[in-house]
Amino acid sequence: MVKIYEERFGETKSGKTVTRYTMENAAGMAVRILDYGCTIQSILVPDTEGIRRDVVLGYDDIDGYEAGSCYIGAFVGRYANRIKDAAFTLDGKEYHLSKNDGNNHLHGIYSFEMFSGSVEEGKLVFRRTSPAGEEGYPGTLQMEVIYELREDNALVIQYRAVTDEDTVVNFTNHSYFNLNGDGGDVLGHTLMIGADYFTETDGESIPTGRILPVEGTPLDFRKEKLIGQDIFSEYQQVRQCRGFDHNYVLKTGEGTSGDIVKEKESGEIISQGKLSGETIPKARETGGDTVKDDSSAFTLKEPSVRDQKGESRQTVLLPFARAAGDKSGIVLEAYTTQPGVQLYTGNFVDEDAAPFGKNERRVPRYGGFCLETQHFPSSPNFPEFPSTLLSPGEEYRQITVYKFRG
């Protein structure tokens, strides 16, 4: 049984008390989350020797999170990633957003806001209302961020939101993973991402509108390789970012090598299929209970939802990535309902504005990697990209799962 307890983490500069919640399962995995920015502060996972390692970057106190400039561990929104020129047009009206990344808008302010947290049915639920006009966005947005730790070491993150006016929504979590948990870089980690295409960007990391194949480029992670293998390539898309900072187009349909998760009449979601040619064993059902054939199988019981165009659809979880620490042997498998994922390799994390990371140590360049599940960057400016429009009467809902094993 997963235990959940809470403790005081500190106080913000504005005098607000920050609470840290800890979820811990019988396998020894523990996840610590703050009500400040819905931030994942720590993920402790037993390695192959049974020693627990903290596999995400973070800070030891609230001062670090308030000073930090790299969104470490945070929930981000209202729009994850960048919006070109901090502006978009919706229903014939142009909206101007805050410029916090040169001339562009990046992520938004949710990472630095307090949320109302509660424990509900074994899950952590964080809520906040974003008023119309906040950062320039239309519509009052009521949101929930839900964290659940499973006994099989799966951390399930759900995002939900409703609006009273047409708006755009794109949420993600900005955790930096270091599966060795030793304060070093992640260049020796192996990584596989099941994506054939990526969205090309310009020198400001803004999409050009072109979707390019990864084949023949350093961005090809369809077969497992070291993160550091091509990170110093002279390929323009890599060189301009000083590493990887790209949105991968995930596979979402039948007939691809991506894994499709279909909803049964009972509301049970069962993973089955392949990821880049490697079989992921499916779960089987016996007497109404799900029995996992292998530790890599994953099940999720959720109802179908309405998408951002208001159409009823099935909940689809796609296993899109696998990573492993070269020193710890800890493996991360990632699943999502989102159409894209931003691979970011901490190319500038060494320039973080906070003086220290955990244990009073500076984080080195490439000290962690992010798998930020999302809709595509600047989608409101590219109608050919998957829509991020949310209208009254619809529910924004996305799910991402990070599953660990030693």
Indicate which residues carry an active-site annotation: 174, 372
CB atoms within 10 A of CB 47: 20
Query: Under a CB-based contact definition with an 8 Å cutoff, are residues 240 and 206 in contact?
Result: no
Task: Say how far apart CA 191 and CA 204 lie, in whole Å.
Answer: 25
- Going by C-alpha positions, the residue among 97, 120, 109, 134 that lies closest to residue 38 is 109
Query: Tokens 């939101």 — which residue?
Result: 161
Alpha carbon distances (Å) from 11 to 62, 122, 362, 366: 7, 26, 23, 30
Task: Say how far apart CA 122 and CA 338 lie, in whole Å.
Answer: 24
* Angle at 352 (CA atoms; ends 348, 356), nearest 5 degrees: 130
Task: Say how far apart CA 68 and CA 353 lie, in whole Å.
Answer: 5
Residues with Cβ < 8 Å from 86, sequence gap 6 or more?
96, 97, 98, 99, 103, 104, 105, 136
DSSP H or E stretch at residue 67: helix 62-67
* Angle at 151 (CA atoms; ends 146, 154), nearest 5 degrees: 50
DSSP state of 364: P
Cβ neighbourhood burial of 137 (10 Å; 0-12, 13-18, 19+): buried
CB atoms within 10 A of CB 403: 21
CA 158 to chain centre: 10
Residues with Cβ < 8 Å from 319, sequence gap 6 or more?
194, 258, 259, 271, 275, 280, 298, 333, 334, 335
- Report helix, strand or coil for 238: helix
Task: Say how far apart CA 362 and CA 357 lie, in whole Å.
Answer: 5
Query: Under a CB-based contact definition with an 8 Å cutoff, are residues 212 and 197 in contact?
Result: yes
